[in-house]
Structure 1
């Protein structure tokens, strides 16, 4: 039995085994392995607060996937004590608070994460959802009832932004290869963001008319103004799929996944492109990664069946 061997494994081996279980969607087993890793690391002479903080954050992710939001909050809080302002722990705790309908705390965590990296799509989306929920619950004065939002020091922001890029496990080979690009994306000016948004909307209108080649031109112009907008990449990827430019679709999805490593549309559209390019393994990998994020995604489940029949 694997349990009999665990005492001979180092904390890093147990962590790796937990990561493998997590990737397969075996969240309960992953949580047990992370617990074993935490115990081993706490016993060792090489105890590093940051390593321990990451283990708590990983176990929190397993709890979150299993719907155990109370334990997720506890582990994220422990992680943040050991490894202050860790983006993953902030986002996981925010998601758990949101599921527990503790919207004020969720809002604070989403906003704190955005101080560290203003390009995190999940944090923007979460902030928007919490703003809507809190406005409905507390009326226009909802901000007055918020807990204080911590100020992230500039030195911490710079360090954590670099570490997030270096350490974030991406769900695929291509995103890993492109991972260094995230730090090189300069935050666009307000003027560029507005121009990029206008061009993206022109592209969206052309898609609705079925004019995919013209839409590709608009999205390309938009990305020159704002190369940090994930939906512009996924929208252009959709157009490339429509005009059968599958390698270009893969490239755009790669770019989108550098910005947001669990983006559903990017994973799904890249899986479609890989299928057309006859790369069955890459397509299956993308769909399995998508299904770890959204297990009941009907379109992905259907496409996975189709792709697996081609094996």
Structure 2
């Protein structure tokens, strides 16, 4: 008697089976099942770009776990072509690029993910690691050598943030932090106000500049340089506690920001907090070991201790 052929599994069944293998650490088998799921979905009449993107992203996760970073990057590229700005694909490609020592590409992907959700700890940590690695490789001007960081359109940011929020379980006792992404209109308005503030700083009109920067931050509270610029103004008018607060906000967004660390150190020096000042300078020097201003200030503070 001829053997009965096993019924062919649908792409959804294959995907589910792949997910189960992945959860139990059977990454090789998971990869094979995702390969079969992709083939089945490609053949089916219900082919949907988003479904296909998720399968590529899942297979990328398996490749990453197996240490096959080059294939992981390829699958993430496919996934992001089908479903642009998918956070999981961005983070997986960033991790694979980091392992392949493609630090610039990794930095760009981590920063792009943070545009979608500024509370992703893995993206913040990755950004910090890449900042340090690129500073060591390219020196203080490493940002000039970066490929352009894509701007995530507002409509996509809102959609993906909502999906991320819905898929992320809330931790007991933790305060949920929500930051609404500024609209493109508000970003442009904020930029113009920031430039007005910069022009006032050049004229030495620090209090007027503070007003402009404050207006700019109302329209776009995610712009690091506006906080550090306003902190400079607060230092100039001897409002040191306000300078510290602005640097704190800047460092919440970019924890290795050199200007924020330096200006906060200056403020702590004036507030007679030498230990905190030294801590900030030491953290700055980890990022930029040859920063002459930081080295000079560190010497000054240590002499007085």
| Structure 1 counterpart of 2:255 | none
User: How far off its partner does 1:192 sit?
Assistant: 10
Q: Distance in 2 between matches of 1:145 and 1:111?
A: 15
User: How far off its partner does 1:114 sit?
Assistant: 0.3
Secondary structure of 2:101's partner?
Answer: coil
Q: Does 1:103 align with 2:103?
A: yes
Q: Does 1:149 align with 2:141?
A: no
Report Cα offsets for 1:61-97 as digits up to 9, x if no partner: 0000000000000000000000000000000000000
Q: Distance in 1 between matches of 2:246 and 2:141?
A: 32
| Structure 1 counterpart of 2:24 | 24
User: How far off its partner does 1:162 sit?
Assistant: 1.3
Report Cα offsets for 1:94-147 as digits up to 9, x if no partner: 000000000000000000000000000000000000000000000011111101
| Structure 2 counterpart of 1:8 | 8
| Structure 1 counterpart of 2:178 | 186
- How many pairs align? 184
Q: Distance in 1 between matches of 2:107 and 2:178?
A: 25
Matching of residues 38-53 of structure 1 within 5 Å: 38-53=38-53
Q: Does 1:92 align with 2:92?
A: yes
Secondary structure of 1:91's partner?
Answer: helix
Q: Distance in 1 between matches of 2:85 and 2:177?
A: 21
Q: Distance in 2 between matches of 1:26 and 1:157?
A: 34
| Structure 1 counterpart of 2:125 | 125
Q: Distance in 2 between matches of 1:47 and 1:182?
A: 40
Q: Distance in 2 between matches of 1:47 and 1:85?
A: 20
Matching of residues 1-311 of structure 1 within 5 Å: 5=6, 8-167=8-167, 175=169, 178=170, 185-187=177-179, 194=248
**Do the aligned partners of 1:73 and 1:97 also contact (CA within 8 Å) in 2?**
yes
Task: Give the structure with higher Rg (CA).
Answer: 2
Q: Distance in 1 between matches of 2:108 and 2:174?
A: 24
* TM-score normalised by length of structure 1: 0.55
Q: Structure 1 pair 106/133, CA: closer, same or farther in 2 (3 Å)?
A: same
**Do the aligned partners of 1:34 and 1:58 also contact (CA within 8 Å) in 2?**
yes
**Do the aligned partners of 1:162 and 1:183 also contact (CA within 8 Å) in 2?**
no
User: How far off its partner does 1:185 sit?
Assistant: 3.0
User: How far off its partner does 1:8 sit?
Assistant: 1.5
Q: Structure 1 pair 192/51, CA: closer, same or farther in 2 (3 Å)?
A: farther
Q: Distance in 1 between matches of 2:28 and 2:118?
A: 32
Q: Distance in 2 between matches of 1:31 and 1:183?
A: 37
RMSD: 2.8
Unaligned runs of 5+ in 2: 181-220, 222-226, 228-244, 252-305
Structure with a larger share of its residues in helix: 1
Q: Structure 1 pair 46/164, CA: closer, same or farther in 2 (3 Å)?
A: same
Report Cα offsets for 1:270-304 as digits up to 9, x if no partner: xxxxxxxxxxxxxxxxxxxxxxxxxxxxxxxxxxx
Q: Distance in 2 between matches of 1:192 and 1:130?
A: 24
Q: Distance in 1 between matches of 2:60 and 2:33?
A: 12
* TM-score normalised by length of structure 2: 0.56
Secondary structure of 1:140's partner?
Answer: coil
Report Cα offsets for 1:143-196 as digits up to 9, x if no partner: 11101100001110010111223346xxxxxx4xx48x999632498859959x
Secondary structure of 1:119's partner?
Answer: coil
Unaligned runs of 5+ in 1: 169-174, 198-311
Report Cα offsets for 1:40-70 as digits up to 9, x if no partner: 1111111100000000000000000000000
